A and B are shown apart, each in its own frame.
Chain A
Amino acid sequence: MFRYLALIWDDAAESHRDAAARMSRRIRSTPRWRCALDRIGLHVFATDSRAGANRVTLIEENRGVVLGQIFSRSGDPVRQIAEPGTNDLDGRQVILTAGDSLVARHWGRWVAFLPGPGGTSSVLRDPSGSLPCYYLQRQGVWIVFSWLEDVLQVVHDLAPPKVDWSALAAFLQHGESSGSATTLEGVSRVLPGERVSLGPGQMRSDLIWDPVLMASKAEYLDPDTTSEVLRDTVRACASAWASCHDRILLRLSGGIDSSILAACLAQDGIADRVTCVNYHSRGADGDERSYARAVAARCRLQLVERERNGAFDLARVLKMARTPNPVLYVGRIASQTDAEIASSLKASALFTGAGGDTVFFEYGNSWPAADYLRQRGFDRGFWRVSMDSALLGGQSVWSTIAQAIKDQFRHGLPAPAVSGHPSLVRLPGDSSEPPRLDERFVHRALLSGHSLPVGKLTQVRHLVHPIGYYDPLVGDAAPEIVHPLLSQPVIELCLRIPTYELTRGGRGRALARRSFAHTLPAEVTNRRAKGGMEEFSTTVLMNNRALARSLLLDGQLGQRGLVDLGRVERALADRPVGFHAHVGEIHRLVAIEAWLARWTTHETPAARQAQAFDL
């Protein structure tokens, strides 16, 4: 599992220098860490890097370093197709532009450390945000890291971070934030596309890649050309990632996104290195094997099928690695099986179609009409787009037009959607008002997002949301996870394409479907439904109901008044009505309670069962 650690300090301050030296010695004494860069005021370490996948790339006579995988862009500016294997990096240009050229001329999954202004060191994170990047300060030393457990071993003699309860309350209401704050005090995140300069007692940041600015540069091409460009870009990015691995495991659900990825990998020189895995479970939406088989047959890829493990023991989540934010485990229940299959196939990577919903625009909402009205006004195309949007949102064209007009007078970010049934979370203040979000929990680019129409803004909002890279349940045994649909060239292209073109004809992901229609079975490209795990999630919870009751009813969330214990108790009672209505939320609360147990000394059943996770 590729990870990194960096120490940044003011060498002029003796105490900071001494602290940095102690930390650096401790890291060097661990065999798995290699020193990637050794400069005064900046030490960078990496582990488990290998040629072809995640690498250490020194630039400009060791003045800086890029960690991870980086590709070069080539081709004409409109297409911006990446050529795999072209990894030339103009280090001088990188230093001169303070890293701006990394974004303009390259893409990938990387974090860079460069000299910063005024004796600082800058940390840059690529726009896809695939490689985690956090930082905290101890004894005057800035510690930048990808995996928190590594830091806790380096500074194990110091007090561990404390829970930031206001951030946790925001997490409960809104989910994981896209901003710099985490749910641990003093632990912050470098945002995707951000440059953070860390120096003596200071921290400054700016964006080297602004998704709002990117999205505001709408690109108007004819549908056929747009379709072709999208197909070429996605295919090139998938090929580039595939070139980094000898063998690949592809999670093929049978949905359109993973199927598109399968079509991209079904190329000479790649296909015979790919094995697909499909997971199925009971339930109307839990079994998509027929679609996965059709795709695998059409693309001539090997396919293995596995049943989801309904007997998953929730006690395992009490032993998850310590992370800056709670990790929702439901989507990771199959990670052990992924690891086993990957190991048996000697596959070093797990490819997924994650992010396709967002980049290709799959939202059951009529926003594209509002976007059109803001960008083009009441012209001849507005009626067609309104009809398309009405189909998309499942409502009348008149409601659609009314909402589109209303959105023109919106100020600020749209209010988050409110769930239909009463939540188990206790909201502070007046719960009848839409919940407000502190700026530190919002990606800084979104603070100027009110200039974007609602559909495009929603797309941006989801694209800057962090996506997991490491697996806290399985750790080192997990294959490297790769999300080709969230490659920077794909993101940028889809941000520039207006939402009403991404959904032309009144279907979510319409453009993507059209782009790959000739390479995939019709029943897959025409599918409107998504697979789901509703019944599986319910089965897992029912099998672990006693543990869930114990965790939540005796847990810290209840004791601090952050959840409504009465509702929780009723939801977990034997009557199935409330239970089934709150399955997802209960899982979420269990994950948070399990996370809390790792960070607090509070005596709860969870804390008693939790043990350190040793990588």
Chain B
Amino acid sequence: MILLDLIHGRYHGVAGPQVDALAEFVHGWPAAPQAAVPPRVISLQPQSAAPLIKRGLVVPGHGRPIAVERLPEPAEAIEGWGEPSAQGFGARSWLHLIAGASWSAFQLRTCTLERIARTVAFRRLVHAGPGAESVNPERLQSTVSAYRRARPIVMTSKDRCLLDSLALIQFLAAERLFAHWVIGVKTRPFGAHAWVQLGALVLNDRLERVRRFTPILVA
């Protein structure tokens, strides 16, 4: 099992007897692992739950978990829709792009993942509602495509999926479109990845890549 420390932005692995041990006294811990529950975990901790308690990942009493959202499994990627016919990018969109990218970079430097995730989730719930609101597919496609084409002006590194995804979330929100910010993990070897998803539609990545990861945070 992999834990994501939302305060310190670190991953921890728990495996074997430790998993069972934690099920005994941690509220909400998954039941005793069934055979072949994916993903199997690379153990990164000593054979004791004490370090998790010491790091504050497990606390006595009741904690404040982020509301658990379950997304449908990714079934489609918007890149498969091709390029939209009309591709305008006005001044306002530029403003949204630059502001969103700058704000996202600032947030990642100064805020915890917990705070960022709560903000994203709260904004989406307030504006879009908890249910799946129907989105005009053409507007979604043109907005995402416009972001993709313009992002090389503001993005500085191809490997910073966290920043890129958060920037897209901000951009979409400014355009009154609200999607989920997802962080996923995989093992063998361990890896973490972030992407943006609306329902079962992946907005900023390839379906084959996203499917390798299991969501650990959905905001």
Closest beta carbon of chain A to B151's beta carbon, Å: 8
List residues of B (159-194) whose CB comes within 8 Å of A's CBs: 187-190
What band does the interface of chain B fall in when counting residues whose beta carbon is under 8 Å from A? 20 to 34
Whether B155 pairs with A526 at a CB distance below 8 angstroms is: no
Whether A522 pairs with B82 at a CB distance below 8 angstroms is: yes
Asked if A550 is at the interface of the complex by the 8 Å CB criterion, the answer is no
Whether B149 pairs with A391 at a CB distance below 8 angstroms is: yes
Docked pose: A92 CA to B208 CA in angstroms: 55
Q: Which residues of chain B have C-beta atoms less than 8 A from A393's C-beta?
A: 158
Q: Which residues of chain A have C-beta atoms less than 8 A from B156's C-beta?
A: 395-396, 398-399
Asked if B25 is at the interface of the complex by the 8 Å CB criterion, the answer is no
Q: Which residues of chain B have C-beta atoms less than 8 A from A204's C-beta?
A: none
Determine which of B153, B189, B206, B211 lies in contact with A581 in the assembled complex, contact meaning CB atoms within 8 Å.
B189
List residues of A (384-432) whose CB comes within 8 Å of B's CBs: 387, 390-391, 393-400
Return the CB mask of B142-160 against A: 1 if under 8 Å, else 0: 0000001100111111100
Determine which of B83, B148, B155, B211 lies in contact with A284 in the assembled complex, contact meaning CB atoms within 8 Å.
B211
Whether B80 pairs with A391 at a CB distance below 8 angstroms is: no
Closest beta carbon of chain B to A579's beta carbon, Å: 8
With A284-B208, A400-B152 in contact, is A505–B83 under 8 Å at CB?
A: yes
Whether A396 pairs with B188 at a CB distance below 8 angstroms is: no
Determine which of B152, B190, B207, B212 lies in contact with A390 in the assembled complex, contact meaning CB atoms within 8 Å.
B152
Asked if B42 is at the interface of the complex by the 8 Å CB criterion, the answer is yes
Closest to A389 in B: B152
Asked if A285 is at the interface of the complex by the 8 Å CB criterion, the answer is yes
Q: Which residues of chain A have C-beta atoms less than 8 A from B80's C-beta?
A: 522-523, 526-527
With A396-B153, A526-B79, A526-B82 in contact, is A284–B189 under 8 Å at CB?
A: no
Docked pose: A577 CA to B14 CA in angstroms: 15
Give the most central of A506, A525, A529: most B CB within 10 Å. A529
Q: Which residues of chain B have C-beta atoms less than 8 A from A527's C-beta?
A: 79-80
Whether B149 pairs with A576 at a CB distance below 8 angstroms is: no
Closest beta carbon of chain B to A254's beta carbon, Å: 11
Docked pose: A391 CA to B80 CA in angstroms: 16
Asked if A316 is at the interface of the complex by the 8 Å CB criterion, the answer is no
With A527-B80, A529-B208, A529-B209 in contact, is A577–B42 under 8 Å at CB?
A: yes
Please count the residue pairs between chain A and chain B whose beta carbons lie under 8 angstroms apart in the complex.
Answer: 64
Q: Which residues of chain A have C-beta atoms less than 8 A from B189's C-beta?
A: 576-577, 580-581
Q: Which residues of chain A have C-beta atoms less than 8 A from B149's C-beta?
A: 387, 391, 506
Q: Which residues of chain A have C-beta atoms less than 8 A from B42's C-beta?
A: 576-577
Q: Which residues of chain B have C-beta atoms less than 8 A from A522's C-beta?
A: 80-82
Whether A394 pairs with B83 at a CB distance below 8 angstroms is: no
Asked if A528 is at the interface of the complex by the 8 Å CB criterion, the answer is yes
Closest to A283 in B: B212
Docked pose: A393 CA to B152 CA in angstroms: 10
Whether A394 pairs with B208 at a CB distance below 8 angstroms is: no
Docked pose: A64 CA to B82 CA in angstroms: 53
Q: Which residues of chain A have C-beta atoms less than 8 A from B79's C-beta?
A: 526-528
Q: Which residues of chain B have C-beta atoms less than 8 A from A285's C-beta?
A: 208, 212
Docked pose: A395 CA to B151 CA in angstroms: 9
Closest to A386 in B: B152
Docked pose: A577 CA to B187 CA in angstroms: 8
Whether B158 pairs with A391 at a CB distance below 8 angstroms is: no
Whether B157 pairs with A395 at a CB distance below 8 angstroms is: yes
Docked pose: A506 CA to B148 CA in angstroms: 10
Closest beta carbon of chain A to B86's beta carbon, Å: 15
Closest to A396 in B: B156
With A285-B208, A529-B207 in contact, is A397–B152 under 8 Å at CB?
A: yes
Closest beta carbon of chain A to B71's beta carbon, Å: 16
Determine which of A387, A532, A577 lies in contact with B190 in the assembled complex, contact meaning CB atoms within 8 Å.
A577
> A400-B152, A576-B189, A577-B189 given. 13 additional CB < 8 A pairs?
A285-B208, A394-B158, A395-B152, A506-B149, A522-B80, A522-B81, A525-B82, A527-B79, A528-B206, A529-B206, A538-B188, A577-B188, A581-B189
Interface residues of A (CB under 8 A from B): 284-285, 387, 390-391, 393-400, 505-506, 522-523, 525-529, 531-532, 538, 576-577, 580-581
Interface residues of B (CB under 8 A from A): 42, 79-83, 148-149, 152-158, 187-190, 206-209, 211-212
24 residue pairs from A and B, CB less than 8 Å apart: A284-B209, A390-B152, A391-B148, A393-B158, A395-B155, A395-B156, A396-B154, A396-B156, A397-B152, A398-B156, A505-B83, A522-B82, A523-B80, A525-B82, A526-B81, A527-B79, A528-B206, A532-B208, A538-B188, A576-B189, A577-B188, A577-B190, A580-B188, A580-B189
